[in-house]
Amino acid sequence: MTDRPVPVISPETQFYWDGAAAGKLLLNECVGCDAAYFPPRPFCPTCGSRDVRVVEASGRGRLYSYVISHMAAPGYEPPYVIAVVELAEGPRMVSNLMGCPADPDALPLDMALEVTFEDRGDVTVPQFRPAGASA
C-alpha cells in the first residue's frame, strides 16, 4: 500500500492530514454561512470571510458518482474504483471504495458510505467504504 501516491501537503491543509492521522475527517466550515466546504482553505469560497472553523465531519456520505479504472496508476492495480462521495455535511470529495468489489453491480449510486482511513506510511488518507462494512 505504501507505493500509493502521497499528497503534497500545503500549510493551509496540514490540519486536514493531521486529523486523518488521528482517525478524524476534518472539514473547514464558514461561521457566517454555517456551511462546510472542501477542499480546506482559510476562507469561505462562498462569501470570502476568513471567519472559519475546523469541524469534525460525521464520516457519513453517499456514493455520488464513480468510474472503475481499468488503467494502472502508481500504487493502483486495475480494476479499482474512483468515487465521488457526497458528505452528509454537503461537500463532495474523491475517494476509493474499500471493502467493496470493483463491480457496477456492487456500486449503486446513492449507496450509504462511511469514512475509514488508509495508512500510507507517513501519511494517512481518508477513504470510504459501504456503511456497516468491515473492511
Partner 1 sequence: MTRAQVAIVGAAETTRLGKVPELSQTGLHADAALNALADCGLRPSDIDGIATAGHDVAEIAQYLGITPSWADGTSVGGCSFITHVRHAAAALQAGLCTTVLITHGESGRSNHRSHRPLFPSMQQQEFENTYGAAFPPMKFTLPVMRKMKDQGLTVEQIAMVAVVQREWAAHHPRAMARDPITVDDVLSSKMIAYPFRKLMCCLVSDGGGALVLTRADRARDMPSRPVYLRGMGGESLEGPMISQMESFTSSRAFRLSGRMAFENAEIDHADVDHLMVYDAFAHLPIYGLEDLGFVGPGEGGAFIAEGHTRPGGRLPMNTNGGGLSYMHSGMYGMYALQESVRQMRGISPAQVDGAKLSVVHGVGGMFSAASTVVLTTASKW
Binding site for partner 1 (CB under 8 A): 4-10, 13, 38-39, 64-71, 73-76, 79-80, 82, 84, 92-96, 104, 109, 125
Q: How far apart are CB 7 and partner 1 at their closest, in Å?
A: 4
Q: Which is nearer to partner 1, 14 or 58 (CB)?
A: 14
Please report how close the Cβ of residue 20 comes to partner 1 at its closest, in angstroms: 11
> Which residue, 15 or 38, is less far from partner 1 as judged by CB?
38
**CB distance 116 to 125 below 8 Å:** no
Residue owning grid cell 468489489? 101
Closest CB 123 distance from partner 1, rounded Å: 9
CB of 74 to partner 1, least distance (A): 7
CA Rg, the chain, in Å?
15
Task: Specify burial of residue 13 (Cβ count, 10 A radius: 0-12, 13-18, 19+).
Answer: middle
Report DSSP letters for 58-70, one per residue.
--EEEEEEEEEE-
Q: Is 4 exposed, middle or buried (0-12, 13-18, 19+ CB in 10 A)?
A: middle
